[in-house]
Amino acid sequence: MNTAIARVAVVGTGVIGASWAAWFLAQGLDVEATDPSPGAEARLREAVAQHWPTLERFGLAEGASADRLRFHAALEDALREADFVQENGPERLDFKIDLFRRMDAAAPLHAILASSSSGLTVSGMQSGCAHPERVVLGHPFNPPHLIPLVEVIGGERTSAEAVERAMAFYAAIGKRPIHVKREVKGHIANRLQAALWREAFHLVEQGVASVADIDTAISQGPGLRWAVMGPFMNLHLSGGAGGIAHVLAHLGGPIEDWWKDLGSPLMTAELKQQVAEGVAAALGDRHERELERARDALLLNLIRAKSASGTLET
């Protein structure tokens, strides 16, 4: 446990913020939460209660308790004694700039200010801060109380020390932080997802396959391998004794040809409707909450299995 950070402030307690709060509590931290939305406290406590049985299966840290959660109506009260701040506000740069300005003024000088932003740059968000050197990205993957990945990056005015402290903190509470070395829209994982989504939408638009069959093609095919190790290591293993060098020597040309043939669909109203109808048809009588529970149970088992395997823990 990173003893230098004992109290975390969670700013914005929607789906992502509530999941973060539950994870921080499960790691034995004190959590000070704030959100201006009506009914936010009740929704947050309900979400934490829903996540807690899963977190108990993960294994709670010593002293972990949902009772260590406090909710504040005022941002300044939530941040007054924080060692680390995890921000989860709306994905609008103008909003973030003002929010980080307020957080910077309210938080102790030693506190790291981290954003869960899925695509905005730290350089933009820190532009109104008096102490921009402590602002970093701490982008999780949904749901943060299950998925280990956290993408960390600094902006133009972030100190190397702040990035190192954020990386160390996330690692200390059981996350798998990666350091994004240069600011790009969508960071790393979202860009990789976007590339897959683009072709998935294109295949639907062109009538190549149904929404359900495209989902099956991933979930019952390469997605199973991707859950174990990443694209480069999977390529390496597919090359046998020659590894990735052998694969690229023989398939480099065909892969490049596939790249040239990939589509660039536009998010037209017609395409949006076509995909939505395809999802509804695939969903059938099942409820989203039912799928979420099944997904989370499988994720928990997979993550625990990966943690128990030193060879596959990449």
Token representation of residue 10 = 């969670």
Residue 101 lies in a domain: yes
Q: How far apart are CA 273 and CA 257, in angstroms?
A: 30
Q: Specify whether 147 is located in the same domain as 220.
A: no
Residue 66, C-beta contacts closer than 8 angstroms, at least 6 positions apart: 22, 25, 45, 48, 49, 52
Q: Specify whether 165 is located in the same domain as 198.
A: no
Residue 92 lies in a domain: yes
Residue 131 lies in a domain: yes
Instruction: Compute the mean pLDDT over every residue in the chain, rounded to the nearest whole number.
Output: 95
Q: Specify whether 46 is located in the same domain as 172.
A: yes
Q: Specify whether 32 is located in the same domain as 169.
A: yes
Q: Specify whether 121 is located in the same domain as 202.
A: no
Q: Specify whether 196 is located in the same domain as 89.
A: no
Q: How confident is the model at residue 311 (pLDDT cuts 50, 70, 90)?
A: low
Q: How confident is the model at residue 296 (pLDDT cuts 50, 70, 90)?
A: confident
Residue 184 lies in a domain: no
Q: Specify whether 229 is located in the same domain as 147.
A: no
CATH number for the domain harbouring residue 275 = 1.10.1040.10
How do residues 79-107 score in pLDDT, each as one tens digit?
A: 999 999 999 999 999 999 999 999 999 99
Residue 84 lies in a domain: yes
Q: Specify whether 66 is located in the same domain as 166.
A: yes
Number of domains in the chain: 2
Q: How far apart are CA 234 and CA 246, in angstroms?
A: 13
Coil vs helix vs strand at 153 = strand
Residue 239: give the domain boundaries: 190-283
Residue 303 lies in a domain: no
Are 142 and 22 spatial neighbours (Cβ–Cβ below 8 Å)? no
Residue 292 lies in a domain: no
How do residues 220-254 score in pLDDT, each as one tens digit?
A: 999 999 999 999 999 999 999 999 999 999 999 99
pLDDT at 9 over 60: yes
Q: How far apart are CA 65 and CA 77, in angstroms?
A: 21
Token representation of residue 120 = 């905005």
Average pLDDT over residues 35-63: 96
Average pLDDT over residues 25-53: 97
How do residues 149-184 score in pLDDT, each as one tens digit?
A: 999 999 999 999 999 999 999 999 999 999 999 999
Q: How far apart are CA 52 and CA 26, in angstroms?
A: 8
CATH number for the domain harbouring residue 71 = 3.40.50.720
Q: Environment class of residue 10 by beta-carbon count within 10 Å: exposed (0-12), middle (13-18) or buried (19+)?
A: buried
2 or 78, higher pLDDT = 78
